[in-house]
Homo-oligomer: A and B are copies of this chain.
Amino acid sequence: MKIGIYGYGNLAKGVEAAAEYADDCSVVGIFTRRDPDTVKSLTGVNVYSANDILNFKNEIDVLVICGGSATDLPEMTPTLAENFSVVDSFDTHSNIPIHFANVDKKAKLAGKLALICAGWDPGMFSLMRTYASSILPNGRDYTFWGKGVSQGHSDAARRIEGVLDARQYTVPVQSAIDKVKNGEEPEFTARDKHTREVFVVAQEDADKARIEKEITEMPNYYSDYNTTVHFISAEEMKEKHSALPHGGTVIRSGKTGLNGENKHTVEFNLKLDSNPEFTGSVLLASARAVDRMYKRGRRGCITMLDIAPSDLSALSGEELRKCLL
Contact = CB atoms under 8 A, between A and B. Distances in A.
Interface of A: 14, 17-18, 20-22, 42-43, 93, 96-97, 100, 117, 122, 124, 126-131, 133-138, 181, 256-258, 262-274, 277-278, 280-282, 285, 288, 303-310, 312-315, 317-318, 320-322, 324-325
Given A43-B258, A281-B256, A310 B305 contact: yes
Contacts of A133: 313, 315, 324
A96 B313 CA distance: 19
A277 B256 contact: yes
A117 B258 CA distance: 25
Given A21-B137, A134-B313, A266-B270, 6 more contacts: A18-B256, A21-B256, A256-B281, A264-B278, A268-B269, A305-B309
Contact of A17 (B256, B312, B325): B256
Contacts of A273: 262-264
Contact of A314 (B137, B270, B280, B282): B137
Contact of A97 (B43, B135, B307, B321): B321
B285 A134 contact: yes
A50 B128 CA distance: 36
Contact of A130 (B18, B281, B324): B324
The 3 closest A-B CB pairs, nearest first, are: A262-B273, A134-B312, A262-B274
B305 A278 contact: no
A321 B303 contact: yes
A157 to B, nearest CB: 25
A298 to B, nearest CB: 11
A319 to B, nearest CB: 10
Nearest to A90: B325
Identify which of A122, A273, A281, A321 gathers the most chain B CB atoms within 10 Å of its CB: A321
B281 A325 contact: no
A16 B101 CA distance: 38
A312 B273 CA distance: 32
A270 B264 contact: yes
Contacts of A137: 21-22, 314
